[in-house]
Every structure is written in structure tokens, then in C-alpha cells.
Amino acid sequence: MKTWDLFNQVRRRVKDEVGVFQKTATLKVALCHPSPYKVGMSSLGFQTIYREINHHPGASAERAFLPDSPEDYRKRRVPVFTYESETPLGDFPVAAFSIAYELELPGLLETLDLCGIPLLRQDRTEKHPLIIAGGPLTHSNPVILAPFVDLVILGEGEDLVHALLDAVAGTSRHTLLSRFSRVPGFYVPGLSPGLSEIARVEQDRLPAYSRILTKQAVWASMFLIEPERGCSHGCAYCVMRRSTNGGMRLVSPDKVLSLIPDHARRVGLVGAAVTDHPEIEELTDKIVASGRRIGISSLRADRLNENLLRILCRGGYRTLTTASDGISQRLRTRIGRRTTEHHLMRAAEMVRNAGMQRLKLYQMIGLPGETKEDIDEGIRFSLELARVVPLSLSISPFVAKRNTPLDGAPFEAIASLERKLSAIRSGLKGKVDVRPSSARWAWVEYMLSQGDENAGLAAMEAWKNGGSFAAWKKAFIEKM
């Protein structure tokens, strides 16, 4: 791509957007996503912080994303720039990154590097932007960010971002960081005595919802809104359970409906346990009755019923996606996942009866104590489901996360995971569509999810050496 094409690509995207803030303020924040545009624009957290910053008196946010092809930017010496004013990131006093999970860390490094901003915080001065991080990764292991970022907002950032913006203007970086190093919900690498509890906002700050709609997002032109936050279940591997202490926070259907703009023709209900909302049928029914299509981020098989399925069908559903996670009943029970074969079979029958095309099921392999019998049971039951309705299995290796009861559980050997995957594939060949995620990259994610600052430094080495799996392996061996 020529230099001009890089700018034109961004301008075409902005042209397709509805809802961009046109605000200029004294304190300008570059709000960055370490994944490409279409992923970043589908992140409800990113959109929420964009709104919060722009609502703050005296502050404005402009968006930037990891380029689709960083090499084109490097070749043309074009720094990453914001979509709103085409200003390079390095010219902002503050650059805030929203990071979903461990494998987005290289995207953060790439973005900083493309802007000529030193990767290590110790190599930066007051002339460089203050680098802030937040997002779902901070629920589990923000420590891997410590070598690179100046400050981390832990957990739900809607309130804390305002406290920070109030303090940034007119305060020297050193004073600012020392002040926030001891404030709960903030983590200042090198100064904070440790990690505090993650922040949790009050119910009246909900729901989060999209600000900008665009057909160029993964969820094309879909208005995302959160009818609930958290989950009241306690699956032993799940990071979201941590935000649940005290139960789910619910938003009334009337409030959700009142926030959907007229121009939104597709609505995505986002949350850890959307189908646990006691008024989910009423809410989905009203959205569909208004002529909109609908999507739900988390359908629990045990919460499905014929009526909800009928509503979803009317709202454009063709594939029903749910998760069983453990591959056998024994493992599901062991990890606290309450979904049973009975629930899954009932879901398959309802999908068929509702005239939908397919059931898609998320599963994990490599849970502690998993045996050949568990894998055999998974194959046997998948075949039973596939006799009822066309079935897709999305299979990921288990990755133990910090702040969960399974924290510290080992990662199964890659070769063993690959053997299990090939047994599942051959057992289901021609009958079930099997889509496995890479065991190698799951291992990289595991090393980062369980690692400390050295794992962050290993990520930097791996990224510098081209980011291949071999580069990651070498970096972890050398640094850890």
C-alpha cells in the first residue's frame, strides 16, 4: 500500500461510521486497540471507554487501532494515527490501550514501535505519552504489562477513568503515578505495593452500549448493549466469575430498549450470562417485534426454552451457539459447569424444531485429570447430537487463568493435545464440523497468563524476533 492508501483506508472507514464524537478538548487521549479495526470496533468495553472519556469535561478521545498490515506502515514510515484527526499517537499526552487477553500484548508492542515510542516504560520520558492499559486482561494477569505501561486500571474502568482524567492535567508524571500507586483499582508498575482488588461499578452505571456503528466491524452494524454484567455461576476456570461476587447486576428491559437508537437494525446483547436475565424473553421479544435482528453473546443451554428459541429465530438466528466446556459429564461436574448432556440434547432438539440450521458448541480439552474415556465420551455424545441437528464443535485447549480456582493448573503437553484433537477429528469425520484452535498458541497464551514481568519481556523478545512459535518458545526458555 502507498502512503496515501493507508490514509484513505482510514478515511473510508470513518465515512462508514455513525456516532463518532466531534469534540476537541484541552486533554486529548488516544484510545488504542491492540487488534485491527474490525475487532476493536466490536469491543463493547472499548466503545464504552470512548464514550466515558468524551463525556469527561475538558477531555476528548480519538481512536487508533493496530494496522491491518503493520508492515505497510513500517515500510512507509507512517506512525499509527487516530481516526478522528489523523494525529500520530506520539503527539498525544495520554495513550490508553484496551487489552482483551494475553495474545494482544504483541499488538501493544507493535503499535508503540510503529510510533517510535520506546517499548519499555523505563526508556520513556515526559515527552512521550503516558501509556495506560485497561480491559478484560486486567481481570486475570495485568502483571505481564508491567515493563511497558505506566499505569493500569484494574477491572471496570467507567468510574476510575474519570478520576484519572481529573488528575492528569497539570500534574507531573511522577506525582501522578505516585499518587495513584496506592489508590485501589489502579496498578502502577514499579510503585504499587501489589495488585489491589479489581474495580466494580455500581448498578446505576450500567448498561455499557455502543457509541459508533459501522458495517466494517466484526459484528457489522450491530448495536451492542449489556442487559446484565457478571455471572452468578462459579465455573472453576472462568475469569468472569470474579466480577460476580454479590451476583449479577441487571438492567431492566425498559432501560435497554430506551437506549437502542432508531437507526440500529441489529442489536447484540452482550454479557457473561445474558440468558440468566430473568426478563430475557420479554426483552428479546420486544427487540424483535420492533423489526430488528438480534444476537446474544452467551446462551446457556440450561436456560433455553421453546419460546426463547422462537423469538431468536424471528430475530434472524440460524445457528445457535452455546458452550459445554468440559468434554465429558465427569469433567463438567468437576469444573463446576452445570450444563449436562440432557440440557445439550434438549437444546439440539429445540434448534431442530425451531427450523434453525446448526448447533455450534464450544468445548475445551486438556482439563486437569482428563482421560481417554473423557475424550471417547465427548466423541460419542457429539455423534448423538449430530444425529439430531448439524453440529459444529469449536475446541480450544484449556488455559489456566489467574484469579480462578484452577489458577496454576498445568498446561497439557502440546503433542498430547494434538493427539486428542486428531482422535476427535477422526472419530467425528464427515459427521461433525470440528474447528480446533491451535495447541501451540494456547501454550503461548498459557505462558503469558501464568507469567510475571519476565513473561512480558519474553513477549517483547518473541515479537522482535518475528513472532513465530519458535521465537516465542526460545524467548520463554531464555527469560523464564
Q: Which residues bind ligand SF4 (CB under 6 A)?
A: 231, 233-235, 238, 240-241, 272-273
For ligand SF4, the closer CB: 87 or 321: 321
Residue 416: partners with Cβ closer than 8 Å, 6 or more residues away: 366
Q: How many CB atoms lie within 10 A of CB 92?
A: 23
Query: If we measure between CA atoms, which residue out of 57, 139, 150, 174 comes closest to residue 97?
Result: 150
- Assign 3-class secondary structure to 371-390: CHHHHHHHHHHHHHHHHHCC
Tell me the C-alpha distance between 32 and 274, whole Å: 27
For ligand SF4, the closer CB: 240 or 459: 240
Tell me the C-alpha distance between 27 and 166, whole Å: 10
Region at 94 (left for phi over 0; alpha for psi -120 to 50; beta for the rest)? beta
Query: What minimum distance in Å lies between the beta carbon of 175 and ligand SF4?
Result: 40
Query: What minimum distance in Å lies between the beta carbon of 385 and ligand SF4?
Result: 20
| CA-CA-CA-CA dihedral for 341, 342, 347, 348, to nearest 10 | 70
What 3-state DSSP class applies to 351?
A: helix
What 3-state DSSP class applies to 161?
A: helix
For ligand SF4, the closer CB: 164 or 272: 272
Cis peptide upstream of residue 207 (ω within 30 degrees of 0): yes
Query: What minimum distance in Å lies between the beta carbon of 231 and ligand SF4?
Result: 3
Tell me the C-alpha distance between 112 and 79, whole Å: 9
Query: What minimum distance in Å lies between the beta carbon of 141 and ligand SF4?
Result: 17
Residue 378: partners with Cβ closer than 8 Å, 6 or more residues away: 327, 328, 363, 424
Query: What minimum distance in Å lies between the beta carbon of 272 and ligand SF4?
Result: 4
For ligand SF4, the closer CB: 61 or 273: 273
For ligand SF4, the closer CB: 63 or 241: 241
Residue 46: partners with Cβ closer than 8 Å, 6 or more residues away: 31, 33, 40, 98, 135
Query: What minimum distance in Å lies between the beta carbon of 363 and ligand SF4?
Result: 12
Query: If we measure between CA atoms, which residue out of 100, 93, 26 comes closest to residue 65?
Result: 100
- Element (DSSP H or E) covering residue 397: strand 391-397
Query: What minimum distance in Å lies between the beta carbon of 414 and ligand SF4?
Result: 24
Query: What minimum distance in Å lies between the beta carbon of 352 and ligand SF4?
Result: 24
For ligand SF4, the closer CB: 236 or 257: 236
Region at 253 (left for phi over 0; alpha for psi -120 to 50; beta for the rest)? alpha
For ligand SF4, the closer CB: 132 or 270: 270
For ligand SF4, the closer CB: 210 or 339: 339
Query: What minimum distance in Å lies between the beta carbon of 234 and ligand SF4?
Result: 6
For ligand SF4, the closer CB: 256 or 364: 364
Residue type for position 436? P
Query: What minimum distance in Å lies between the beta carbon of 321 and ligand SF4?
Result: 13
For ligand SF4, the closer CB: 233 or 479: 233
- Element (DSSP H or E) covering residue 361: strand 358-365
